[in-house]
Amino acid sequence: MLRLSNFQVYCMLLLFCAPIAFLQVGKYAIDLLLNNAYLAVVATIIPGILIIYIFHYIIQKSTFPFPFMLEEHLGPKAGKIIGFLYSLIFLFFTSFSLRLFIDFIETNVLPQTPITIFLGLLLLCSCLAVKTGLGNFARMCEVIVILGLSFAFTIAFLSFFQHPDIKNLLPFAYINSLESFFRAVFMLTSEILKLTAILFLAFFIPDKKASFSIMIKVLFTFITLISSITIATIMVLGAHAAKLFTFPTFIVVRIINIADFITNLDAIFIGLWVIGIFGSSTLFLFLFCITTSFVFNLQEYRFLASPSSLIIAVLALQMASNILELNIIIVHIAPVLLFIFFFLIPLLLFFITWKKPYPSSSSPLEIKDHFPTYLN
Amino acid sequence: MRYINKKNLSLLTSHELINHPISSDIEENISGLKKILFNCSDAVFREFTFGSRGHKGLVLYFDGLTDRREIEENIIKPLILEIGMVNIDPGLEDQGHLFLKIKNSIVAVAEVKELSTLGEIVHHISSGDTILIIDGYDRALSAGTRSWQTRSIQTPDNEVVIFGPKEGFSETLRFNTALLRRRIKSSNFKIEAFILGRVTKTDVVLCYVEGIAPPGLVEEVKARLKRIDVDGILDSAMLEEFIVDHKNTIFSQVEHTEKPDRVAAHLLEGRVGIMVDGSPMAIIMPISFPQFWLSPEDYYNNYIPASLFRMLRFVAFWISLLLPSLYVAVITFHHEMIPTALYLTIAATRQGVPFPAFIEAILLEITFELLREAGLRLPRAVGPAVSIVGALIIGDAAVRAGLVSTPMVVIVAATGIASFVTPAYNAGIINRIARFGFLAASSVLGFLGIMIVLILMLTRMASLSSLGLPYLSPLAPANLEQMTDVVVRRPWFSNLHRPYLEGMQNYVRQNRQGGGEKH
């Protein structure tokens, strides 16, 4: 049976949640809360822990990993129907994360290059990763996270030395509108909801009880990363100026100047961000393939990667005609979809499992015979 | 009966004779062996008679593979001159008494074996042994008289070190195993022999330390070796393609070395070594990619400078892989990354160069590779001179002619120098090939292209394994304890455990309480 280490699951979850958030979420929090955006980031700990508790509880009360647990708790018919909806959602989010990345590259890095080239190349990488299997992808995630985290924190650290103005954070902790605060927290929480992947991954670690500590570590890494880059953005650019830019984090990276010689590190930042987006979209693609194979009772999931790439490419190109339409999806549609499928349905599972006893075989090794063979 | 046997033997082909048992009639054996060794001008058949009853005997060997003096002094001379001094009961001669007396009291050679088929005789003389056949006995004696001209133990040309042992393997398997045995003086150090190659019958040995190497790993290597069915094995590198997990990849899954101390160090970490007669290279399995950055002399030097040198090698690895592509990406797409003054300098040197940076880089890289290959193939006396003079003259002429810019020459030269820093030659080859992929991608998409190729490379590397050991370990799957001995060189006093291999039972390397056997 496929075995993953706790660190591998930590890396996969972090890669799932952080790359898009690193570039975007701080900006939306600044849009809503200006100089107090970091407070919303820190406040996300509370809903984050709540979500982690719900996911952990579901894992403890389930015998099978997601999406097979849908059938286990909701019955065969409802399980399959909701599983089908999930596969559509995973498909959508794979396309969405790729489109987001492509628009960013097109507007900021290589405006002359057709977006289909970026799309094709990233999908090729994702497809190959899915075909090599989850165990190999987990190993890749380890390398990516070690590289990416060290670079992301270095960026945040260096940006604190680019003529920051601590006065930009004033007045400290004065929130004008509670509604804006909660909206910002909701936006940030929607990124943390991607921890849903643990419902699948927890069944491959030696002790699924460890899933709680893994999620907590991911949450705190996420909060530290996003809050540090948000504070750096506010201090360096100022909240009002940051609001004017589409990608203020990117501008902060551009401002970094080391010894008046190394400047414009954005190209390196983009390079590493590409790997992050690749990790995030590949995990979505994995989940799509696995959920689809569950819905249609297929014996193998890897072969779905190539044909689904075509659908993903078309969807990514067609989902928005310009960056403004994409912004509408980012602000209004994506968080709602994330809330429904990554929070409400898990919450439903939580209540359903409330009355259920703990499964007799808690160790994945004991239930390996019941696992779908292709996950072995 | 003898007539029927004789007739049968004469009818058999040389292939059929190979499996034929030795006859008690010496004439039959001689004719059979002459048929098998037809047209083998180096085969020496020395027939003679000995003893008071005039027994017929035959000494058979290949000229050049044996010590003639030992044959004369310790086999033929005692038989002809000293047999009379040995007390043999004439009545017991036919019951094998004479044969046993000769084996135990006459043939004065350290290694003597009894053989029963003609095939065994051929195999033993091919290995340098001398065969003694006596009329009336359906067995033969093989005496170990191997001796041939060999290269002496020398410093390996490809693995030069400043600290630590300098001796390297040679082409003689027994010398090589002796070099290892001298380092690992334990009965747990096992050297299992195999004969591979239908025609070459090459001696191959599998070395491991019992109790440290995982038993499953040893059994798997043995099974893979036994599966090989090929006409010949001429070098250890030929075995690599037969026994690795993944065949279609540029990433080497074994480590090649000429240094016995390096093999011994790996054996003590639970790995296995394979050596082939006629090859000075041993191969070590399983191996992971980060292992290629490590040099044996790291462990003979103080751990602080050794760690710094290792980090330098790590940087050199990335320089040799990415520097030309980073330069092309910056020049072509990301000008803003370098300071204006530097960019203006580079732009000034590129004035009049008719090629884009990518073509420039490719031209120089190919020229550099040509010079490197030419330097390797040319006679040793002129090779380095040709490559250095060639590099200087071609580089200078190309710049003067305005075909390439000076910074590009500097970049390619720096890349070349950095590629020599990687201690493992196979890792250098991976770099050399991958570098062209990075170059092409950077010329199309800049940093983005480099990252895409890096992802593809990472995907491939993550999917590889060497005898089940993940190729990127200990980086992925991450193992913090082992990682500290990859990025830096962990001091010996804190090197408590061996690198983890699946199924390893003896994980503890060092006992902190101290000790060691006293003599």
pLDDT computed for residue B3 by the predictor = 44
Co-location of B18 and B116 in the same domain: yes
CA of A266: which chain B residue's CA is closest? B337
User: Using the beta-carbon criterion (under 8 Å), do A272 and B454 form an inter-chain contact?
Assistant: no
Spatial separation of the C-alpha atoms in residues B131 and B123, rounded to whole Å: 11
Q: Do B338 and B447 belong to one domain?
A: yes
Q: Is residue B168 part of a domain?
A: no
The residue written with tokens 């551009």 in the block is A254
- Tell me the chain B residues in contact with residue A5 when contact means C-beta distances shorter than 8 Å: 477-478
- The pLDDT of residue B1 is 40
Considering only alpha carbons, which residue of chain A is nearest residue B471? A139
Nearest CA among A266, A150, A124, A231 for reference residue B441: A124
CB pairs under 8 A between A and B: 92
Are the Cβ atoms of B448 and A137 closer than 8 angstroms?
A: no
Contacts of B438 in chain A (CB under 8 A): none
Residue A359 forms part of a structural domain: yes
Q: Which residue of B has its CA nearest to A268?
A: B447
User: Per residue in B183-225, pLDDT tens?
Assistant: 998 889 999 999 999 888 899 999 999 999 999 999 999 999 9
Query: Which parts of chain B have pLDDT scores under 70?
Result: 1-10, 83-96, 381, 512-519
Closest CA to B115 of B10, B127, B106, B148: B127
Conformation bin of residue B400: beta by default, left when phi > 0, alpha when psi is -120 to 50:
alpha
Q: B360: domain range?
A: 301-470
pLDDT at A365 (0 to 100): 47
Is residue A366 in some structural domain? yes
| pLDDT at residue A157, rounded to an integer | 87
Pairing of strands B272-276, B282-285: antiparallel
In a domain, A318, yes or no: yes
* B312 inside 8 A of chain A by CB: no
Task: Please list, in sequence order, all residues whose beta carbon lies within 8 angstroms of the beta carbon of residue B283, skipping any fewer than 6 positions away.
Answer: B236, B237, B239, B240, B254, B255, B256, B273, B274, B275
Neighbours of B253 (CB within 10 A): 25
Q: Over the stretch A112-166, which tens digit does the pLDDT of each residue have?
A: 777 888 889 889 999 999 998 888 999 999 999 998 888 888 888 888 888 888 8
Which residue of chain B comes nearest to A145, CA vs CA? B476
Q: Check CB contact of B178 with chain A, cutoff 8 Å.
A: no
The alpha carbon of residue A128 is apart from the nearest alpha carbon of chain B, in Å, by 7
Name every residue in A having a CB less than 8 A away from some CB of B.
5, 7-8, 105, 109-110, 113, 117-118, 121-122, 124-125, 128-129, 132-133, 136-140, 142-144, 146, 260-261, 263-265, 267-268, 270-272, 274-275, 278
Distance from B500 to chain A by nearest Cα, in Å?
15
Question: Does B281 fall in a domain?
Answer: yes
State the nearest Cα–Cα gap between B281 and chain A, in angstroms. Answer: 32
Chain A hits for B448, Cβ within 8 Å: 105, 109-110, 118, 270-271, 274
User: Per-residue pLDDT for A366 more than 60?
Assistant: no
What is the pLDDT, as a whole number, of residue B434? 92
Q: Provide the shortest C-alpha distance from residue B476 to chain A (in Å).
A: 5
User: How far is CA B435 from each of CA A35, A69, B309, B415, B432, rounded to the nearest angstrom?
Assistant: 46, 46, 23, 10, 5
B333 contacts chain A (CB < 8 A): yes
* B336: chain A residues, CB-CB within 8 Å: 263-264
As for how many domains chain A has, the answer is 1
Q: Is B51 left (phi over 0), alpha (psi -120 to 50) or beta?
A: left
- Say whether A263 and B333 touch across the interface (CB within 8 A): no
- Statement to judge: residues B305 and B194 lie in one domain: no
Flag if A142 and B336 touch (Cβ within 8 Å): no
Domain boundary among B426, B455, B470: B470
B334 in contact with A, Cβ within 8 Å: yes
B88 and B217 housed in the same domain? no
User: Pairing state of beta strands A257-258 and B255-257?
Assistant: unpaired
For residue A253, the chain B residue with the least C-alpha distance is B337
**For B340, which residue in chain A has the nearest alpha carbon?**
A261
Distance from C-alpha of B193 to C-alpha of B357, rounded to nearest angstrom:
55
Are A3 and A206 spatial neighbours (Cβ–Cβ below 8 Å)? yes
Residue whose tokens read 């009291």: B105
Q: State whether B190 and B42 are in the same domain.
A: no
What pLDDT, in 10s, does the model give residues A183-236? 999 889 988 999 999 999 999 998 888 999 999 999 999 999 999 989 999 999
Separation in Å, CA of B289 to nearest CA in chain A = 13
Contact status of B340 with chain A (Cβ, < 8 Å): no
Most A-contacting residue of B245, B331, B332, B458 (CB-CB within 10 A), to test interface: B458
- Mark yes or no for CB contact A133/B463 under 8 Å: yes
* Residue B132 and residue B22 in one domain: yes
Residues from chain A contacting residue B454 (CB–CB below 8 Å):
275
Residue (of B427, B421, B207, B423) closest to B297 by Cα position: B423
Residue A369's pLDDT band (cuts 50, 70, 90): low
Q: Which residues of B touch A105 (CB under 8 A)?
A: 448
The count of C-alpha atoms lying within 13 angstroms of the C-alpha of A16, restricted to the half-sphere facing its C-beta, is 27
Please give the pLDDT value at position B10.
Answer: 67
**pLDDT of residue A251 exceeding 80:** yes
Alpha-carbon distance B196 to B232, whole Å?
7
d(CA B288, CA B473): 6
Contact between B448 and A110 using a beta-carbon 8 Å cutoff: yes
Chain A contact for B335 (CB, 8 A cutoff)? no
β-pairing verdict for B112-115 and B55-62: unpaired
Assigned domain for A274 exists = yes
Domain boundary pick from B101, B121, B143: B143
Q: Given an 8 Å threshold on Cβ–Cβ distance, is B463 in contact with A117?
A: no
Structure tokens at A335: 């968080």
Cβ contact A125–B452 (<8 Å)? yes
Residue whose tokens read 């699951």: A9
A201: domain range? 6-375
Task: Please answer yes or no on whether A143 and B447 come within 8 Å at the CB atom.
Answer: no
CB B474 within 8 A of CB B486: yes
Cβ within 8 Å of A, B 404-463: 445-448, 450-452, 454-456, 458-459, 462-463
**Closest CA relative to residue A27, chosen from A277, A240, A276:** A240
Mutate to test the interface with A, among B288, B442, B453, B459 (most CBs of A within 10 A): B459
User: Could you say which of A137, A140, A268 has the minimum Cβ distance to residue B447?
Assistant: A268
Length of chain A counted residue by residue: 376
Among the partner residues A132, A274, A278, nearest to B462 by beta-carbon distance: A132
Residues B123 and B196 in one domain: no
Query: How far A7 CA sits from the closest chain B CA (Å)?
Result: 8
B245 and B371 both lie in a single domain: no
Beta strands in B232-309 (DSSP E): 255-257, 272-276, 282-285
Q: Let me know if residue B400 belongs to a domain.
A: yes
Domain presence at residue B156: no
Q: Are residues B276 and B318 in the same domain?
A: no
- Is residue A147 within 8 A of residue A276, CB to CB? The reply is no
Instruction: Judge whether B183 and B264 are in contact, CB under 8 Å.
Output: yes
pLDDT on residue B88? 59
CA of A3 to nearest chain B CA: how many angstroms apart? Answer: 11
Same domain, B366 and B456: yes
> Which residues in chain B are contacts of A122 at CB distance < 8 A?
452
Judged by CB atoms closer than 8 Å, whether chains meet at B476 and A139 is answered as: yes
Q: Are residues B308 and B256 in the same domain?
A: no
CATH assignment at residue A20: 1.20.1740.10
User: Of B294, B291, B288, which is closest to residue B471 (Cα–Cα)?
Assistant: B288
Which residues lie across from B497 on neighbouring strands? B508
- Within-domain flag for B162: no
pLDDT tens track for A31-75: 888 888 989 999 999 999 999 999 999 999 998 898 899 998 999
Q: Is residue B482 assigned to a domain?
A: no
Inspect the interface and report whether the beta carbons of A267 and B447 lie closer than 8 Å. yes
Domain assignment present for residue B478? The answer is: no
Q: How many domains does chain B have?
A: 3
Q: Quote the pTM value.
A: 0.84
Task: Kindly determine whether residue B329 and residue A267, on different chains, have CB atoms separated by under 8 Å.
Answer: yes
Is B231 among the domain residues? yes
Same domain (yes/no): B218, B359? no
